Amino acid sequence: MILSLLVGCYSLDGFFFQPGTVEAYTLGGDVIPASCQELVSFDGEAGTLYGAWAHQPAVEGADCEDTVPNPDAPMVVYFHGNAANIDEYWPQVEFHWALGHEVFIVDYRGYGRSWGDPDFDGVIADGRAAVAHVEDRTGLDPTELVYVGLSLGGFVAVHLLEDAPPGVLITEDMFANTQKMLNDGTDLDLPSGWFFTEHFDNLGPLRRMPPTIPTLVTHGAEDDYIQPEHAELVFAAAAAETKELFLVPGVGHADAVADAPELYAPQIDCWVRQDCAEE
């Protein structure tokens, strides 16, 4: 297999993008009232992008039709993983909404109903457009937002740290770079440039990040898709003055919300709100 890749100069960049297109989104579910769900479209570099809001009503238990969104709810911008579309990640949105967070999630170009084809620079630009949309809708500065990035979404989030630094950064099951992924998959010391036309690197932006951004690095301790060693490299690279590494016991890739909510929820909520108790 490796020999055939070498001979054919095969590119593995497509591994990072596995979009699922839809004619209509489902969203739904029993957690977030329909009145608090809002599907939106807005302009991106490649054309129209689609996203969804999960609003917090100002009065607990009220319909969002009856009240304005809660201005005191922390604002989470959720950048999803490399597969499918918003519908696949709606349980993560429900998880944050149940914790009292206002949430916005975006489909990158080529995902869901968003126009265009995904690529390295494109998904970063789409992340930037999503943040601008949130700014326009809420009047908040990026420094008042919480970025949560799952896997590929972590790549998007960390590549916004210089131009649009958030108030808090949380990465979930994020890879370190293509070189580490290649080493994991082949057990050979081969240059990633032989297989990837782009160097998907998250460590460089983290080394250059503003040190004032509190950063939580989370990873499933049993992740066999992106190994937990990636999280250790990510944590070591992050220049944040306040940072923490949380390896979620017994959890695989992107499974913390479903499989360990009792462990994950308090940790995520206190980082989002920046009120974690001092040990």
Domain ranges of the chain: 2-19+32-272
> Which range, 54-68, 196-210, 240-254, has the best average confidence (pLDDT)?
240-254
Task: For 187-205, give one letter per residue: b (16+ CB within 10 A) or e.
Answer: eeebebeebbeeebbbbeb
The CATH label, of 3.40.50.10880, 3.40.50.1820, 2.40.340.10, 3.40.50.2300, for the domain at 2-19+32-272 is 3.40.50.1820
What pairing do the DSSP bridges indicate for beta strands 215-220 and 168-172? parallel
pLDDT tier at 2 (50, 70, 90 boundaries)?
very low
Coil/strand/helix, residue 145: strand
pLDDT 10s digits, 167-220: 999 999 999 998 777 766 555 454 444 455 557 899 999 999 999 999 999 999
Between 162 and 9, the higher pLDDT residue:
162
CB neighbours of residue 12 within 10 Å: 16
**Quick one: pLDDT at residue 277?**
79
As a dihedral over the C-alpha atoms of residue 142, residue 148, residue 154, residue 158, rounded to 10 degrees, the angle is 20
- DSSP state at residue 42: E
pLDDT above 70 covers a percentage of the chain that reads: 87
Token digits for 175? Answer: 């890879």
Average pLDDT on 225-253 reads 97
Which residue's entry shows tokens 């593995």?
Answer: 12
Residue 168 in contact with residue 214, Cβ under 8 Å?
A: yes
Token digits for 268? Answer: 């995520």
Direct distance between the N- and C-terminal alpha carbons of the chain, in angstroms, rounded to an integer: 50
**Quick one: pLDDT at residue 69?**
74
pLDDT 10s digits, 106-153: 999 999 999 999 999 999 999 999 999 999 999 999 999 999 999 999
Coil/strand/helix, residue 34: helix
Is the pTM for the entire model greater than 0.75?
yes
**Quick one: pLDDT at residue 30?**
92
> Is the CA virtual torsion 171, 228, 107, 126 positive or negative?
positive
The whole-angstrom separation of Cα 139 and Cα 41 is: 18
The whole-angstrom separation of Cα 111 and Cα 52 is: 13
Residue 251 in contact with residue 259, Cβ under 8 Å?
A: yes
Q: Residue 260 pLDDT more than 90?
A: yes
Q: Is 162 left (phi over 0), alpha (psi -120 to 50) or beta?
A: alpha
**Quick one: pLDDT at residue 7?**
37
